[in-house]
């Protein structure tokens, strides 16, 4: 078997709000926005390419999972070639950093939360 991890689903309360955060705030590319009648298929991709996010609008009890998909853990990892530039862009877009940047053996890193409470690492590799 061979292949790639094409996309990961991120449960959000509203498609348009999520598109605005990722595309307008962070510079992600909107790769799909398809009306499927009962639902929309919405994907965004980081500026440097890679795994896309499927922005899945919560329905019914799924609202309990918004911001809680990682069960309180960091579960999304955003890699950058310029930590300070992207930390500033994230903050301007509404992300909240939980800590000051720290140096680890693998690079410069800090935990941040998106507008829905998901915990991410911003990492500039060593």
Tens digits of residue pLDDT in 35-50? 998 899 999 999 999 9
Model pLDDT, residue 102: 98
Low pLDDT (below 50) residues in the chain = none
DSSP 44-113: EE-TT--SEEEEEE--GGGGGGTTTTTTTSEEEEEE-S-HHHHHHHHHHHT-EESS--EEETTEEEEEEE
1-66 matches 69-126 in fold: yes
Among 3.40.50.720, 3.40.830.10, 3.10.180.10, 3.30.70.380, name the CATH number for the domain at 69-126.
Answer: 3.10.180.10
pTM recorded for the entire structure: 0.92
Domain ranges of the chain: 1-66, 69-126
- Angle 61-58-109 from CA coordinates, rounded to 5°: 110
What CATH class has 1-66? alpha beta
Model pLDDT, residue 3: 92
Model pLDDT, residue 1: 82
């Amino acid at each position: 078997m061979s292949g790639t991890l094409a996309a990961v689903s991120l449960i959000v309360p509203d498609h348009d709000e999520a598109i605005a955060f990722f595309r307008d705030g962070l510079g992600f590319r909107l790769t799909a926005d398809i009306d499927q009648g009962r639902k929309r298929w919405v994907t965004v991709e980081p500026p440097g390419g890679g795994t896309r996010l499927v922005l899945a609008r919560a329905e019914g009890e799924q609202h309990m999972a918004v911001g809680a998909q990682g069960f309180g853990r960091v579960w999304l990892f955003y890699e950058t070639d310029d930590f300070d530039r992207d930390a500033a862009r994230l903050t301007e877009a509404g992300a909240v950093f939980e800590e000051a940047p720290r140096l680890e053996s693998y690079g410069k890193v800090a935990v941040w939360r998106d507008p829905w409470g998901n915990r991410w690492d911003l990492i500039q590799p060593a």
